[in-house]
Amino acid sequence: MAKQFKPETLCVQAGWTPKKGEPRVLPIYQSTTFKYDTSEQMARLFDLEDSGYFYTRLQNPTNDAVAAKIAALEGGVAAMLTSSGQAANFYAIFNICQAGDHFVCSSAIYGGTFNLFGVTMKKLGIDVTFVNPDASEEEISAAFKPNTKALFGETISNPSLEVLDIEKFARIAHSHGVPLIVDNTFPTPINCRPFEWGADIVVHSTTKYMDGHATSVGGCIVDSGNFDWDAHAEKFPGLCTPDESYHGLTYTKAFGKGAYITKATAQLMRDLGSIQSPQNSFLLNLGLETLHLRMPQHCRNAQKVAEYLSKNEKVAWVNYCGLPDNKYYSLAQKYMPNGSCGVISFGLKGGRDVSIKFMDSLEFIAIVTHVADARSCVLHPASHTHRQLTDEQLMEAGVRPDLIRLSVGIENADDIIADIEQALNT
């Protein structure tokens, strides 16, 4: 779809344009395989000489339509859906890194991603250096090595809610000849489009706001098409030299701006298979159609709740970048002037035990291992999602022992506040 359309229109219309007599609503292509008339037609698909569908592990029409919608929303040239946000993070790095390589990453990221990068990928021979995202450009640059292949950060970190200075990170990455990869899950492209600030690749856990209803686990990788891989060909042989598994095809020469996503699809998805199911893609598309309506409501509600918490005498601290006294308020206004997300973190006077009692006393705000959907929910990361981290790692990731992560839903704000108030008074 033409890029001149506004995000609201793209949410509803992008990705699927039915022809005469075709379904108005994106169909679920619930098939593992696709028929062709001749062996030659199939052969050309396997050699990447023609585009089309032959096996859903690589591509599926439902998946491709939804990926195209997300690419349009982010302003990218191509996208690929994955089975989860973690798979998207892994593929985004593994597509340009191999054993013996290194990348630099903000320390303020989701605990599962911290573990993926800091533990699991090291077992594959890919090393990472975590840096304080608020450090100076010189300090962050010092973490780069000759074998560094990427810089990674989260637009709004989960759960510490630190706002990434995207332009700063982009300058650093590009000065070292590597791409900036940004996880844009929390703001979504409704509130922030990292490509406009210099990012090269964006990843999402579509499980969160994009799906919006806690029905479907999924992820997505979007390529801006702006990074010049051939200008740094020695760093990225997987993209810039012949691929023996495809008869010596070179991705940048054969696919131009589509090289990165084509390689991720044709090589990584072929071999690792973390594809999103067509059924989940269909549900994700339904969520995307209302993303532009839900995000403003999440932000309005979160602002009201954050203001209430900041004035409550039982609350020790509140972290929400929409509050004027927040450390990241200025950055949030720069990158997300229309709102950030619906997630708040705060702590109660009395520490961890009081926080746990508070959560157990909530009525309709549920304790769940999830965040960023239509229903308000709460979590204690140190006890749940981040419990695999040491106290030192928790602090490095910006997670205090008393931190409560509150995901504010799209219910009535007064009802949300009333539930919080009764739990505080229990």
Length of the chain (residues): 426
Relative orientation angle of helices 278-288 and 61-74, to the nearest 10 degrees: 30
Look at residue 3 in the predicted model and tell me its pLDDT.
54
180-231 confidence digits (pLDDT tens): 999 999 999 999 999 999 999 999 999 999 999 999 999 999 999 999 999 9
Q: Please give the mean pLDDT across all residues of the chain.
A: 94
CA distance 384 to 388: 9
236-262 confidence digits (pLDDT tens): 999 999 998 888 999 999 999 999 999
- Does the pLDDT value for residue 1 go beyond 70? no
Look at residue 303 in the predicted model and tell me its pLDDT.
98
C-beta separation of 88 from 228 below 8 A: no
Look at residue 14 in the predicted model and tell me its pLDDT.
96
pTM summary value = 0.94
Question: What's the average model confidence in pLDDT over 408-421?
Answer: 98
In the numeric block, the tokens 């993926």 are attached to 116
Instruction: Set out the domains of the chain in order of their start, with CATH numbers.
Output: 7-279 (3.40.640.10), 294-425 (3.90.1150.10)
Question: What's the average model confidence in pLDDT over 320-348?
Answer: 97
56-103 confidence digits (pLDDT tens): 998 999 999 999 999 999 999 999 999 999 999 999 999 999 999 999
Relative orientation angle of helices 413-424 and 291-311, to the nearest 10 degrees: 40
Least confident of 95-104, 161-170, 384-393: 384-393
DSSP string, 250-315: -HHHHHGGGHHHHHIIIIIIHHH--PPPHHHHHHHHHHHTTHHHHHHHHHHHHHHHHHHHHH-TTE
C-beta separation of 218 from 211 below 8 A: yes
Please list, in sequence order, all residues whose beta carbon lies within 8 angstroms of the beta carbon of residue 381, skipping any fewer than 6 positions away: 111, 159, 399, 403, 405
338-361 confidence digits (pLDDT tens): 999 999 999 999 877 888 899 999
pLDDT-derived band at 398, boundaries 50, 70, 90: low
pLDDT-derived band at 124, boundaries 50, 70, 90: very high
Structure-token pair, residue 315: 């609350």
Residue 311, judged by CB atoms within 10 A of its CB (0-12, 13-18, 19+), counts as exposed
Please list, in sequence order, all residues whose beta carbon lies within 8 angstroms of the beta carbon of residue 286, skipping any fewer than 6 positions away: none
CA distance 64 to 169: 30
